[in-house]
Amino acid sequence: MLERQICPKCGEWCLIKQGKTACCDEIAETTAKRRAQRMSGGSGVRHIPTKDERNRILWKQKQSCFYCGRYFGSAVFRNGNIILLRLEWDHFVPFSFTLARQNFVAACHICNRIKASMVFETPEEARQYVSKTREAKGYSEVPKVWPGVSEEEE
């Protein structure tokens, strides 16, 4: 069970991580009596970052995926097919757990689907999981020479 409470700073439901709220990094209030409460879905409307936020995130991430580090629009290879990486906006902590605006990252469509709604302690832990899963699913760099074609034939 993931511990949640209403953040004293932003007033939204958020995860409690190491005694602090995951959204605003405020000290979490502890109550003597704990009660489990099922919460499905996010509390509110799902948003994407504003244009300024998107530009800031893309600049900070150098126009590349938060998880795999590949540039958006670049290509990967899987099962004989070339796939161009599309940009998607991901909630690092799933939307159903927090609405914090600083929770957005730019991710390629492949990494975003692999990470899905999983919760990780650190970004590095998420990157390691996504990397291993991408490799297990057969994603790789586009070969310089197409399989079955020799360099002389080009």
Residues 119-132 pLDDT 10s? 888 899 999 999 99
Name the E strands within 10-144: 13-17, 20-21, 75-78, 81-84, 87-91, 104-108, 140-141
53 and 29 within one domain: no
112 and 74 within one domain: yes
pTM equals 0.66
135 and 68 within one domain: yes
Q: What is the domain range of residue 62?
A: 46-144
Number of domains in the chain: 2
Residues 60-98 pLDDT 10s? 999 999 999 999 999 999 998 999 999 999 988 876 666
In a domain, 122, yes or no: yes
Among the listed residues 93, 87, 98, the one whose alpha carbon sits nearest the alpha carbon of residue 118: 93
137 and 65 within one domain: yes
66 and 123 within one domain: yes
